[in-house]
Structures are given as structure tokens and as C-alpha cells.
Amino acid sequence: MKKIFIALLGISVLSLPIRVSAAQKVPLLIYHSIAEYSGTGSKELYVTPKNFEKQIVYLRDHGFTLLTFEQWNESVTVKKPIFITFDDGYKNNLNVFTVFQKLQTREFKPKGTIFVISDFIGRPNRLTSEDIKRITDSGLMSIQSHTSTHPDLTKSDKLTYELKDSQEKIEKITGKKVIAIAYPYGNTNKRVVTETKKSYLYGLTTTPGPYTPSGIKNELYLLPRTYIKYSTTIDEFAKIVEGE
């Protein structure tokens, strides 16, 4: 009897899914401008459209699934999940849309998230309401919030305006829920997280590294992101996304 019990126990342990022990690492990438460097501002905040296309081709050819935050729960079920994000809502992010349209196939659906500063919509060099509506309607881009005016939230006394009002303004344009916020400069603290939780499901920092679920409090409001820079080579890119 005892022998049978031990044998059964052995079988049940062996049949447990292997995934249980290995928590999936999810890379979240951060970009700003997708354009040739214009000579103004920091060069490292640019990635040329040609390099960006190479990077997305890499993801396509290596079996990645590009997700937006509406699909967060799929990050535990899909093959090689990754989030591609763009901060500040530059007009040149339309180049992202062009690359995505070019590279999409029946099997590969490239998707990305642009974090716009809602009071800057329509300013020179920024996306307009019409741009935003058009690219969200395509299903390839999700537009989320990067606050109303891009302050350091840890020093701001207008958190309702920066968080909730920004969310409402963007939702009016897209007709879709805004559920994620990228903290300007990646800065957040306990007070900011508490306020963010009233309106959002996800908060993104610029702390480098992939996301690994750890069960720590507020981990979805402290999501890490790794910069892809002008100087990032395709080999370095591969290491970042493969978690090496």
C-alpha cells in the first residue's frame, strides 16, 4: 500500500506544470523619438526608423508577442511577451505606426503604447488629436497617459489635474479606457502611487530591467522599463529582450 502511495505521489509531482517554478520575465522597453537625429536635444533619446525596424524584425523573427496594457493578463500565457512604449507623444511616433503596418503579418501583430502629455497634444512636433484617433482605431497603437504637463509628480501639488484630468482628456479623444501612466522622469513615491491607484491599473517607472512578478505591494505601479537608445546595437537589443 505504502509503495503504491509513493508511486502515485511521484507521478503527480512529475505531472505538475514546469511553468510553476519559472516566473516569466517580461521586458518593457522605453523609446522617445523614432526619427533621424535632428541635432536638438539628447541624441540618445532618438532611435532611427531604420534601427527601430531592425529591432521589430528581430522580435518578429524570434517569436515575441507584442502587447499593450489592455492585454496585461495575457503576459502570463503568450509566448515571449514584451511591451514597447514611447514617452512624450512626439509627432515622429507616426514612424512607429508605419513600421508596424509594414511588418505585420497574419501571425505577427506588432503593437505599442504611446504615453502622451495631454496638454501638449497638437503642439508643434507632437501628435494631434486626429493622429491619436487614427492610430488607436488601427488597433496597433494604444494611447496612455504621461500626465497633463509632465511635472515631477513627487513635487507636484496638482495630482488630480496631472493624473485624473489627463486620463479623461485622452479617453475623450480615443473613446477607449486609459489604464496606464508613465511617471515623468520615472519619478514616483508612496503619495503618488496612492493617488495613481485611484484612476489607473498600471504605473511605469524608468528603473531598468524586466518585470518579474514578485508579489511585493504595488508592483504594478512600479513597473520597470529599459531604455533603447540611439547607440543601442542589435546585439545589445537582443540581450535586453532575451533577458541575458
Could you list the residues that contact Zn ion (CB under 5 A)? 87-88, 184
The one-letter code for the residue type at 80 is K
Q: How far is the CB of 226 from Zn ion (least distance, A)?
A: 16
Nearer to Zn ion, 87 or 165 (CB): 87
CB of residue 115 vs Zn ion: minimum separation in angstroms?
Answer: 7
Q: Closest distance between Zn ion and the C-beta of residue 31, in Å?
A: 11
To Zn ion, the closest distance from the beta carbon of 213 in angstroms equals 26
Comparing CB distances to Zn ion, the nearer of 90 and 237 is 90
Separation between Cα atoms, residue 110 and residue 125, nearest integer Å: 24
Least distance in angstroms from the C-beta of 232 to Zn ion: 19
Taking the least distance from each CB to Zn ion, the nearer of 65 and 205 is 205
Closer to Zn ion by Cβ: residue 104 or 226: 226
CB nearer to Zn ion: pick between 44 and 242: 44
Q: CB–CB of 17/66 below 8 Å? A: no
Residue sitting closest to Zn ion (CB): 87
Smallest distance from Zn ion to CB 39, Å: 20
Nearer to Zn ion, 138 or 189 (CB): 189
Q: Given the complex with Zn ion, which of 184 and 210 has the nearer CB atom?
A: 184
CB of 164 to Zn ion, least distance (A): 19
Q: What is the CA radius of gyration of the chain?
A: 20
In contact, 56 and 110? CB cutoff 8 Å: yes
- Do residues 31 and 182 touch, judged by C-beta distance below 8 A? no
